[in-house]
Amino acid sequence: MKYGGCTREGLRGQAVNLSNTSSNLVTHPNLRNSMAHTDPNMIKAYKKYNAYPKGQARTKKYKTSPKGKALIRKLESSPKGKARRKKYNATPKAKARTKKFQSSLKYKRWYKKRKPMMKKHYSSPEYKLSKKNRRQRNLDSWKEILPREALCGICGKAIFFRHEDRKLPRINFDHQNGGNEVIKGSPARWLMNHLATPKNIAIWESCDFGILCNECNKQTPTKDRKQWATNVVKYISKGTAKIVWVVG
């Protein structure tokens, strides 16, 4: 049976002259597929078919086949698929479903089986070591790119990046562009989690971080720092502290 080119009336069994429609419309497989997915009648027909035991068995067979599994994985890991899942999971229906599943025996059994494994994995010295090693490796990869020694931009104190002597004051990377940088959080933490690849170096350079010592970094606000600096200058030249008198 060929659905392509059929009108609503045609599907309902009324006489349709297929020769009247363009032959491409009827036979072109791409067009037929695209029509099948947009035509409400076809969607209805597919749904009806899939609800039959035969259709259900067919769907199940496809979903468990390597081809079907690969397709599901591809769809679910795509940004569109992730967004759809997130949207679906926020619906009351999905929440109720999750809640029901989590109180089911099946979930409890699964969790019971998995819990010691997870606990063992996350508390194992191997896991902790690997995380530590990963961070060390990432930080070390930036040694060639970042300055090893610098002077604080405000107080002029000598500060260091990854110096062997941990007691020496360290370099603090400062959001000097009002927080509009690509790296929003702590730059030091970002360095820990990212290897110095050309892509990451480009991201880092786009941020144009300032270099400060720990104390100066703590005292400098990220936002509206020009206004803050003006206020400081005003204050030290005139003493503009406002006193609020409380009467009574």
DSSP 169: P
> Would you say 35 or 154 has its CB closer to Zn ion?
154
Q: Rounded to the nearest 10 degrees, how much is the dihedral formed by the CA atoms of 55, 57, 58, 63?
A: 120
Contacting residue, 139, 152, 171, 196, with Zn ion by CB under 5 A: 152
70 forms part of the interface with Zn ion (CB under 5 A): no
Tokens at 110, concatenated: 């699964």
213 forms part of the interface with Zn ion (CB under 5 A): yes
Helix, strand, coil: what percent of the chain each, to 5? 60, 5, 35
155 forms part of the interface with Zn ion (CB under 5 A): yes
Q: Are 207 and 182 in contact (CB under 8 A)?
A: yes
Nearest to 101 by CA among 114, 112, 110: 110
Helix (H, G, I), strand (E, B) or coil at 70: helix
Say which residue the tokens 């080119």 belong to.
Answer: 5
Contacting residue, 173, 181, 216, 220, with Zn ion by CB under 5 A: 216
Nearest to 171 by CA among 159, 183, 153: 159
> Would you say 32 or 170 has its CB closer to Zn ion?
170
Q: How far is the CB of 187 from Zn ion (least distance, A)?
A: 16
Helix (H, G, I), strand (E, B) or coil at 208: coil
Cα separation, 100 vs 143, in Å, equals 52
> Would you say 152 or 191 has its CB closer to Zn ion?
152
> Would you say 196 or 213 has its CB closer to Zn ion?
213
Q: How far is the CB of 220 from Zn ion (least distance, A)?
A: 9
Candidate ranges 112-120, 167-175, 186-194, 212-220; the one touching Zn ion (CB under 5 A): 212-220
> Would you say 6 or 171 has its CB closer to Zn ion?
171
Candidate ranges 52-60, 64-72, 110-118, 205-213; the one touching Zn ion (CB under 5 A): 205-213
233 forms part of the interface with Zn ion (CB under 5 A): no
171 forms part of the interface with Zn ion (CB under 5 A): no
Q: Which residues bind Zn ion (CB under 5 A)?
A: 152, 154-155, 213, 216
